[in-house]
Amino acid sequence: MFSAAKDRITCMAAKAFLEAHLKNYGEIESLTIDSEERRLEVVGQLRGELSPVRITINRYVLEQKGGAVWLTVRESSASRPWLAAVMRDHLEGRAFELPAWAAAAL
């Protein structure tokens, strides 16, 4: 129960954070995080797309390095084959340094 409440609060902060970085590409309609399962899902409307796109991080790992927390995507999928291919090529296996608030929440 605690982790579900924590995940909902984290989703609100993460949505605002991502919207600021992705505003040139579209809008986020929903974002869900399941920190116990290490799963994240984003549904958004990308510019030029007729219907919403679903992006799922099916599995991620967190690692602490040099005083920072890094998220590495291990497995991902998307509702568009072209986007799933881009994610496999450029997202999976890549580590991203998390902001402090996100590191504490995940």
Q: Which residue has the higher pLDDT, 77 or 6?
A: 77
Domain that holds residue 98: 2-105
Q: How far does Cα 103 stand from its chain's mean position?
A: 13
b/e code 72-93 from CB counts within 10 Å (16+ = b)? ebeebebeeeebbeebeeebbe
Query: Above pLDDT 90, what percent of the chain?
Result: 66
The number of distinct structural domains making up the chain is: 1
**Are the CB atoms for 26 and 55 separated by under 8 Å?**
no
Mean pLDDT of all residues belonging to the chain: 90
> pLDDT per residue over 12-47, tens digit each?
888 888 888 889 999 999 999 998 899 999 999 999
Residue-level pLDDT at 79: 97
